């Protein structure tokens, strides 16, 4: 599944006070706004005294990437300090868990760290932004991080949008993933299904049916467009997967049905009106809706222009083929 993520609109960790501080002195720190940060004085801290961040959004760490970072740390050391806060029993990690894990694998006893005072909400925000910047989170991890900030710290989606540099619609789309059946969320984490394939399943309220459709999508390796067409069909006929016809020639009837549905969508976009493809077997018919003579003329003009364009393209292709043998070019 392709990763989705970009920058944070020029904000990044600076949005929470990391990096060069440009915060107005009149803007007092609230429960979820980070104080100014001086990143110039890292200290070597005993790794055994650092507890991982319980609010870390990321739960999956790529073993191959960790091993590569381990080798780099063995040779060059930790080039970027981790961020921690002081606790009665030692330190709690705010950002840099991958560096901490790799340092342990490399046999390091200490790690450079910057010690700052942050509350729980600030820790979650910083960990979330760091992972978004590095494209480390899978969709479900990102969704849970948003949900945690919204439910536990009283943020609105608008406030959260400004803090993490994501649009409200982006945040809302990820939060909706948490309404999927748990098994489908696991498939998203394991890259068995993409976010684009999973989103249409939200229209199916029955979680058991969701799971059945998800398995079908994976088995048939359906494109996002075909998933959307399949879900539309299932919403009309919930027993669609059980009632699919058996083709004596061994062909896949579902692939053919979804192809027709996808073709209908393309024709609807082209003609700007309702289109239906009907019929069984090899013989089918195309129905195009129109409500006036003017609309019929528009449809005829569209077809004529399309045919003319194809004729012109064919003529040019023939001329180009001839020109390779003749004395002129097209």
Tokens of 75: 């040779």
Distance CA 66, CA 72 (A): 10
113, 83 Cβ separation under 8 angstroms: yes
Three-class secondary structure of residue 145 per DSSP: helix
Question: Which residue carries 């394939």 as its tokens?
Answer: 197
DSSP assignment string, 180-242:
S-HHHHHHHHTTSS-HHHHGGGGG---HHHHHHHHHHHHHHT--HHHHHHHHHHHHH-TTTTT
For residue 29, the 8-state DSSP code is: -
Stated length of the chain: 330
Q: Which of 44, 63, 92, 97 is catalytic?
A: 97
Active-site annotation holds for 264: no
Beta strand 82-87 with 90-95 is antiparallel
Residues known to be catalytic: 97
């Amino acid at each position: 599944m392709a990763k989705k993520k970009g920058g944070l609109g020029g904000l990044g960790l600076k949005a929470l006070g990391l990096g060069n501080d440009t915060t107005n002195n009149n803007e007092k720190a609230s429960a979820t706004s980070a104080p100014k940060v001086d990143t110039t004085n890292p200290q070597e801290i005993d790794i055994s005294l650092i507890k991982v961040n319980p609010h870390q959004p990321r739960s999956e760490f790529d073993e191959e990437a960790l091993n590569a970072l381990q080798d780099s740390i063995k040779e060059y050391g930790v080039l970027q300090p981790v961020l921690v806060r002081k606790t009665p029993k030692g330190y709690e990690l705010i950002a840099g868990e991958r560096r901490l894990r790799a340092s342990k694998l490399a046999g390091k006893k200490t790690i450079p760290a910057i010690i700052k005072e942050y509350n729980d909400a600030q820790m979650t925000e910083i960990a979330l932004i760091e992972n978004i910047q590095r494209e480390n989170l899978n969709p479900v991890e990102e969704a849970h991080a948003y949900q945690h900030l919204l439910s536990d710290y009283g943020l609105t989606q608008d406030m959260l949008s400004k803090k993490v540099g994501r649009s409200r619609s982006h945040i809302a789309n990820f939060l909706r993933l948490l309404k999927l059946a748990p098994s489908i969320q696991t498939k998203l984490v394991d890259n068995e299904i993409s976010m684009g394939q999973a989103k249409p399943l939200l229209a199916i309220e029955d979680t058991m049916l969701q799971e059945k459709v998800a398995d079908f999508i994976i088995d048939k390796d359906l494109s996002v467009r075909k998933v959307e067409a399949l879900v539309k069909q299932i919403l009309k006929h919930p027993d669609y997967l059980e009632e699919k016809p058996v083709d004596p020639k061994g062909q896949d009837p579902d692939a053919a049905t979804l192809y027709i549905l996808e073709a209908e969508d393309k024709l609807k976009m082209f003609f700007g009106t309702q289109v239906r493809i009907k019929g069984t077997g090899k013989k089918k018919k195309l129905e195009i809706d129109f409500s006036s003579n003017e609309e019929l003329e528009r449809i005829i003009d569209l077809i004529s222009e399309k045919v003319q364009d194809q004729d012109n393209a064919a003529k040019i292709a023939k001329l180009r083929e001839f020109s390779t043998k003749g004395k002129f070019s097209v």
